[in-house]
Structure 1
Amino acid sequence: MIPQTKNWLRANGDRPVAAKPFSSLSSYKAIKHHQTLAKTLGIPNPFYRSTEGMADKLTLIDGKPVLNFAWCDYLGLSQHPEMIAAANEATSRFGTTLSASRMVSGDTPMHRELEAEIARTIGVEAALVFVSGHAANVSTIGTLMNSDDLIVHDEFVHNSAVVGMRLSGAETRSFKHNRLDALENILRTERAKYRNVMVVIEGLYSTEGDLPDLARIVELKERYGAWLMVDDAHGCGVLGATGRGLAEHCGVDGAKVDIWMGTLSKAYASCGGYIAGNTELIDLLRYAAPGFVFSVGLPPAMTASALTALRIVQREPERVQRLHNNSKMFLEGAHARGLDTGRAAGIAMLPIMVGLTGRAAKTVARVLERGVNASFIMYPGVPMNAARLRFFLSSELTEAEINLALDVTKEELGR
């Protein structure tokens, strides 16, 4: 026992002192405050609903069938027979888990096939698959950057990127959403002070539904000697004529971006995340990224289903076109009904802006009662008093289903 501890115990009569309960934490108190307020206002909890059916455009919540706009099954692959067969076959062949890090216990040929397929799809040299997209962002930023470096990011980048920045110890600067003049000003005035600079943006912004000007950002990062990282979690499989992501959508060579991040859990209907780029980047992460080196590898079933999904999308680009058509139909229908979709470009994810948190919470509960399941997005996920309903679109939705969702939302917002 160290001397300071002995002296402290003597001063307190050698009596043990209980640690404070978790309920004393400010974050716990804030959660309880919101729950109490919602109960007082008669608003049911919009989070952690139990979904009793498959993740499809139709699912069961509390035993009731609903139209499901709260899942990211953009291309309708979650129930595809080839996906289910691939997952079952991989489990039969390799078991349910790798049980340890791929670095020490090895992997399967499917893991390497999947990584090669991802790299080919984006147009880069190599890729590395993590067990989650969150871990991929945290580990990559935390590995590449340190206290001698600067990270410049859009104000709306995902929490996983923010956590990675904190882990890295690098200096950070944010710029207003998609305000590239502000980005350029930071790069021009700050670049010379740091060893390395990384710019972090998203492809399809997950709460706004809009896109960055990738060509201009590439030009800026090349002019000022920075690395560019694009979180294309909602863009991969969705953006571009064949779903290859933000680069295809913007007509930019994928190799112009230093670091691509994406998920396998949305358009590709599996689980996990990836980082893609040149061989040097992937070699470094393979041996140094904690979220890869010290974490179990992606389970065989998820690996096989993700690989199958990538190949289905390449074989059936009409799925991407149907998604784009449905998204345009939703956007135009929302505008025709006087609904505010904010900055949304009208691809895959569209918000209906509400404003006050209580009003948005009541609306999402009412539309669910009428058979439409949308997501409730509030502060701190979005700015204060900018609450909204978020609708994830699918290639498998019909015109009638889209119109029903819009009509119900319009009516309930008008109550």
Structure 2
Amino acid sequence: MSDASDTTALPAALKRALIDGARQARQRRAQTLAPLPLQAPIPAAHYRFDLHPGYLQLRAMRDNAARLGVENPYFKAHEGIAGATSLIEGRSYINFASYNYLGMAGDPTVCEAAKAAIDRYGTSTSASRLVSGERPVHQALERALADLYGVDDAVAFVSGHATNVTTIGHLFGPRDLILHDALIHNSVLQGIQLSGAHRLPFPHNDGQALERLLAAHRHEFERVLIVVEGLYSMDGDYPDLPRFVRAKQRHHAFLMVDEAHALGVLGPQGQGSHAHHGLSAGDVDIWMGTLSKTLAGCGGYIAGESALVEQLRFLAPGFLYSVGLPPALAAGSLAALRCMQAEPERVATLRARGERFLSRARAAGVDTGTSAGLAVIPAIVGGSMRAARLSAALWREGINAQPILHPAVPENAARLRFFLSCLHTEAQIDATVDALVRGLAALAD
């Protein structure tokens, strides 16, 4: 009998297969050891942040400003409460760069509520609310917000920007269409991008243009969302909201209103757009707002019907996978909301100060655009360097008003923005407008 280890005893076909396999294995080893073919080097800009296009653009802007003698107007450190005045670099300035519309940031009642919440709950929930971060103060705040709008429920998020991003990103998808005002906030645009929905902007506050887009495209998509702001933070104007409600009803679309700058400003008692326009609870499908402006905290909220709010609580990534709102912030915002409702004179004073600023500025020839003079008033100067120089001129006179430069706005619409507060005095308003007129005259010279 033949030895099993003797390959000569193997069938010829099997022997050929073994020899071919050994040859292929040698070839694979040779290919592994062979030098890689020459490739073009990776450009340094692809792996260095100092060559990133965004950083190069920032450096160019800084260099241009330095050559023109314009100091960086941003990241000024406020050394106390930023109200109608603020202490910056040891000097007191009349302050128009804060969203403290009703003077709640620093209000003793609001601060005491936040301090009490820290004593009771600590500084953090230390978990997402779904897991174990829920606190009674969250529920109380959300109930108060829902009652303010007259809707079923509300949910509070830790970031206003993330509120729009995660809500739109979760609710809509590639088969949907989102129509938005051309001046809508960046957070809405980021949410649309995340959703993968088709996007169509319409000219600012142009309800007729929206109607044309809906008539032409509504039938091509499943869900359609219309997004506007209650009060626009760049221009200080607001939409004809009842017209947008009628458009969404005719075309079976959803309507979302961003109330970030409208709460505490619009409406007889600061209740927001629904009170200002006489709308009922269900006229708008998604009410969005922030806690960081009138409500003196940080974060955002969505208010609406139960089916909307419940799924955001359980499914929206920006809520589900985020730590809960710090109890002190929730308590402070709840206290601010109650103060707003109990002290309507704050809203009345804010409106009076806005009207005074707007009327005096327009009478002096300042371009305030389409501002309604409620809480946000721009001074449009055209040209980013002009806006930066005007801001610097006011700074030297003890007035803090920030420039808004390209690309945040078109270059020919660069401006200063003045955020009004009920804490501003008539004398501060008059002095500021006078300084603004002097600064514009110096720019013209």
* Corresponding residue SS for 1:385: helix
| Match of residue 169 from structure 2 | 142
CA–CA distance in 2 between the matches of 1:278 and 1:9?
Answer: 65
Give 1:182-201 correspondences, 5 Å limit: 182-201=209-228
Q: Distance in 2 between matches of 1:8 and 1:153?
A: 57
| CA distance in 2 between partners of 1:168 and 1:65 (Å) | 45
Q: Where does residue 231 of structure 1 map in the other structure? A: 258
Instruction: Return the TM-score normalized by structure 1.
Output: 0.96
C-alpha distance in 1 between matches for 2:360 and 2:304: 39
Q: Which residue is 2:115 aligned to? A: 88
Match of 2:137 in 1: 110
Q: 3-state DSSP class of the match of 2:36?
A: helix
Deviations 1:98-126 (A, max 9, x none): 11210111311110000000011112111
What does residue 346 of structure 2 align with? 319
Letter in 1 for 2:258: D
**1:303 paired to 2:365:** no
How far, CA to CA, are the matches of 1:307 and 1:131 in structure 2? Answer: 14
2:307 to 275, 280, 286: 280
Partner of 2:248, secondary structure, is helix
Give 2:286's aligned residue: 259
Match of 1:351 in 2: 378
Task: Tell me which amino acid in the other structure corresponds to 1:292.
Answer: F
Gaps of 5+ in 2: 1-31
Q: 1:114 to 1:40 in 2, by over 3 A?
A: same
1:331 to 358, 365, 371: 358
Report what 2:394 is aligned to. 367
Amino acid at match of 1:373: N
Whichever residue aligns with residue 166 of structure 1, its letter is: Q
Aligned partner of residue 92 in structure 2, secondary structure: strand
Letter in 1 for 2:372: A
2:304, 2:378 → 1: CA distance?
A: 31
TM-score (norm 2): 0.89
Once the two structures are TM-superposed, the CA of residue 27 in structure 1 deviates from its matched residue by 1.3
Structure having the higher Rg: 2
Q: 1:8 to 1:205 in 2, by over 3 A?
A: farther
1:33 aligns with 2:66: no
Q: Does 1:10 align with 2:41?
A: no
Match of 2:207 among 177, 180, 183: 180
Report matched runs for 1:156-175 at 5 Å. 156-175=183-202
* Structure 2 match to 1:100: 127
Q: Which residue of 2 aligns with 1:121?
A: 148
Compute the displacement of 1:191 (Å): 0.3
Q: Say if 2:243 is the partner of 1:216.
A: yes
| 1:289-317 deviation line (CA, Å, top 9, x unaligned) | 11100111110110000000110011001
Cα deviation, residue 25, structure 1 = 1.7
Corresponding residue for residue 12 of structure 2: none
Q: Report SS of the residue matched to 2:329.
A: helix
Equivalent residue in structure 1 for 2:296, among 252, 269, 275: 269
Range with greater deviation from structure 2 (46-55 or 200-209) = 46-55
- Amino acid in the other structure paired with 1:31: L
Alpha-carbon distance in 2 for matches of 1:39, 1:26: 20
Q: CA separation in 2, counterparts of 1:166 and 1:384?
A: 25
Aligned in 2, Cα 1:16/1:321: closer, same or farther, shift over 3 Å? closer
CA shift, 1:390, in A, is 0.3
Deviation at 1:254, TM superposition (A): 3.1
Q: Which range moved further: 331-340 or 224-233?
A: 331-340
Gap change, CA 1:92 and 1:8, over 3 Å in 2: farther
Change (3 A) 1:7 1:365: farther
**Structure 2 counterpart of 1:402, from 422, 425, 429:** 429
Answer whether contact 2:133 2:323 (CA < 8 A) is retained: no
Question: Relative to structure 2, which stretch is displaced further, 335-344 or 155-164?
Answer: 335-344
Could you list the runs of 4 or more consecutive aligned residues of structure 1 that deviate by over 4 angstroms after TM superposition? 6-9, 15-19
Kindly state the Cα deviation for residue 11 of structure 1 after the two structures are TM-superposed: 3.6
RMSD: 1.7
